[in-house]
Amino acid sequence: MNKNINVNFVDLSRQRSRLDGAIEKAINTVLEHGKYIHGPEVSQFEEDVKDFCDVSNVVACANGTDALSLTLMANNIKQGDVVFVPSFTFTSTAEVVCLAGADPYFIDVTEDTYNIDVEDLIENIKEAERKGLNSKAVITVDLFGLPADYDRLESVCKEYGLLLIVDAAQSFGSVYKERKTGALGDITTTSFFPAKPLGCYGDGGAILTNDDVVADKLRSLRVHGKGTDKYDNIHIGMNSRLDTLQAAILIKKLKIYADEIISRNRIASTYSSALCDDVITPFVPEGLISVWAQYTIQLEEKQREIVISSLKEKGIPSAIYYPKPLHLQTAYQSFLSSVNGMDVSEKLSKKCLSLPMHPYLTGEEQEFVIESIKSA
Ligand SMILES: *Cc1c(COP(=O)(O)O)cnc(C)c1O
């Protein structure tokens, strides 16, 4: 039994059938009105996200990486500035700092949440002070969909006068003690890359903030820094718009997203109760709701190899996020990292394994994954 079950890591086709033609219809509407750049669906989607997250400004843009770049530009982060970032994350978080001409400073993460270690951050903020560095901001990442420790991060950033940027590319719709994405830190960025919890059919991103002045600047920056007169640009900006077609798709997907988050949480708790005696399962602190961009377990390095290959034999996909923390990657080796070392990030890169996770995973499929891990 269970021989021919085909489990997908992420399954967008089941979501599409659930939406029963709504996406095709929405695409057709765009084809008919033909407003491909900043058509009415873009502002509609921005409004919908405002309601969903309860935030006063949503600025859609081309992707999650640009969302971060635009945020740094809007806040005048420039050459000579230092921005603290976790090392255990996707490249974009640090890449954008370098593109702004500033220097990323890598901080370690905690072993149970995978998110930035606030103690380590504080010690390195002080170290940067001693070195006379120009510390400007912290970019936190809500890795795998789980919010970082914002009560403490907000008070640390306030104490040291640092801007708190939240990279919520993996955590759109998550909750931190009754506060949703967009209400944490100073400004939040997200991504609608297809495999993210809320994804479109191509690239997409957005910036969320309650600061109206910054939001206005962002609206200018995403269109080359335009002023009220299109040919008198007031900032050096970039071309980073969300396509009307992608906005049309996102409008439909956002309508079922709250329900999908519930399914993701149900699936995550099934995994956790079945696997908690065999492997290290994810920890969710009190009062937080993850959106489970990834369901990630920890295994000993040797065990991990065995599990990956035995899952592979059964046709079950799994993935390692991230096999190499940023501070060890070729492009980032010359930048500063924690004075305490980066032991946790390095250790996690050898132990983490992400399992199939999407809201349409059936009980039978999940059972197959669970049994396969247990027997390995
Ligand atoms: C995916 C991701 C991004 C980048 O998003 P894109 O839309 O692919 O540019 C940034 N940060 C993190 C943590 C991500 O996971």
Residue 204 alpha carbon, nearest atom of ligand 1:
7
Helices (H), 180-313: 212-221, 244-255, 257-275, 301-313
Question: What is the overall mean pLDDT for the chain?
Answer: 97
Which distant-in-sequence residues (6+ apart) come within 8 Å of 208 by Cβ?
A: 49, 53, 55, 57, 58, 59, 168, 181, 182, 187, 188, 189, 190
Ligand 1 contact via 170 beta carbon (within 6 Å): yes
Residue 105 tokens read as 């400073």
The predicted structure's pLDDT at residue 231: 85
* Ligand 1 site, residue 190, Cβ cutoff 6 A: no
What integer pLDDT is reported at residue 247 of this predicted model? 98
Beta carbon of 325 within 6 Å of any ligand 1 atom: no
Task: Answer yes or no: is the C-beta of 189 below 6 A from any ligand 1 atom.
Answer: no
The pLDDT tens digits for 331-344 are 999 999 999 999 99
Residue range 282-321, pLDDT digits in tens: 999 999 999 999 999 999 999 999 999 999 999 999 999 9
Calculate how far, in angstroms, residue 237's C-alpha sits from the geometric centre of ligand 1. 20
Strand partners, 103: 82
Supply the residue whose CA is at minimum distance from atom 7 of ligand 1: 64
Q: Is 65 in the pocket of ligand 1 (CB under 6 A)?
A: yes
Please give the pLDDT value at position 4: 65
Q: What is the pLDDT of residues 269-287, one digit of tens each?
A: 999 999 999 999 999 999 9
At 376, list the tokens.
Answer: 């390995």
CA of 159 to the centre of ligand 1 (A): 28
Q: How far is the CA of 125 from the centre of ligand 1 (A)?
A: 25
- Tell me which residue has its CA closest to atom 10 in ligand 1: 92
pLDDT tens-place string over residues 50-99: 999 999 999 999 999 999 999 999 999 999 999 999 999 999 999 999 99
For ligand 1, whether the C-beta of 90 sits within 6 Å is: yes
Helices (H) and strands (E) in the chain, counts: 13, 12
**CB contact at 8 A, 264 and 292:** yes
Condensed to tens digits (0 to 9), the pLDDT of residues 201-257 reads: 999 999 999 999 999 999 999 999 999 887 899 999 999 999 999 999 999 999 999
Between the CA of 39 and the centroid of ligand 1 the distance, in Å, is 24
- Which atom of ligand 1 is nearest the CA belonging to 170? 15
For residue 138, give every residue at least 6 positions away whose Cβ sits within 8 Å of its Cβ, in sequence order, or none.
83, 84, 85, 116, 121, 153, 156, 157, 162, 163, 164, 165
**Are 63 and 205 contacting, i.e. CB atoms less than 8 angstroms apart?**
yes
pLDDT of residue 229: 85
Does ligand 1 come within 6 angstroms of the Cβ of 93?
Answer: yes
| Cα 211 to Cα 207: distance, rounded to the nearest angstrom | 11
How far apart, in whole angstroms, are the C-alpha atoms of residue 372 and residue 376? 6
* pTM score of the predicted model: 0.97
